[in-house]
Amino acid sequence: MTGKLQNKTALITGGGRGIGKAIAELFAREGARVAIADIDPVTAEATAAEIGPEAFGLAMDVSAKASVLNGMDLTLERLGQLDILVNNAGYLVYTDFETCSEEDWDRIVNINMKGTFLCAQAAISPMKAKQSGVIINMTSLAAKTGGLAAGPPYAAAKAGVHTLTIGLARALAPENIRVNAIAPGVIDTAMTSAPQHDALKATIPIGHPGQPEDIAYCALFLASDDSKHITGETIDVNGGLYMD
């Protein structure tokens, strides 16, 4: 590894499994100390134990402000500062316009969009204090297609994350805080194992679904000085499934 994140600290939500775990592992290999936040503390702690002494796990429900603030306080206590926030925590159940329940709508929007806002809001103060920082949000292919394999609340929430990314980038640029997003396509995780994703997988121009590591390397680029003049952008990682 090249040590691109040497002496940096990172908080990764939804970091216990899937894409979040891949990001945590790569960031640690590149020299970062990482806080792995997950709604399931057992999973977060197990992932941290796999990574080693430069990582620790903590419980965080990103949809609840008190939980986010507690997690941020613990991160700052353990790591001393916050250089990078990765808003990766997400939730998806397939719905459609006719059958989507209010409960499904609220949970999907609260975790995917409200959670991104709450975590970014909590990160502003410690990043402003040091006049530097990077926030990476996770939007989705669904934000551009209307949610072909996800449904209306997920697509709407991820489109909201796209807009939040632009707004945060404009607001925080004077503080030397960069804000960008990644829009994954079909990535081989538990979230895309539902039958609704099979048809999409068959149409990926590059010929196969992505792996969590594909998203992790994009996150590393955005977290490092390799992207020091990039803010307010969303990078598609979808194998050509959507091109614009």
Residue 159: which CATH number?
Answer: 3.40.50.720
Residues 169-227: pLDDT tens digits? Answer: 999 999 999 999 999 999 987 666 566 667 778 888 898 989 999 999 999 999 999 99
Q: Residue 39 and residue 129: Cα distance in Å, rounded?
A: 28
User: Is 1 contained in some domain?
Assistant: no
User: Is 106 contained in some domain?
Assistant: yes
For residues 48 and 69, the answer to whether their CB atoms sit within 8 Å is: no
**Residue ranges in the chain modelled with pLDDT below 50:** none
User: Is 241 contained in some domain?
Assistant: no
Q: Which residues are catalytic?
A: 154
Number of domains present in the structure of the chain: 1
pTM of this structure: 0.96
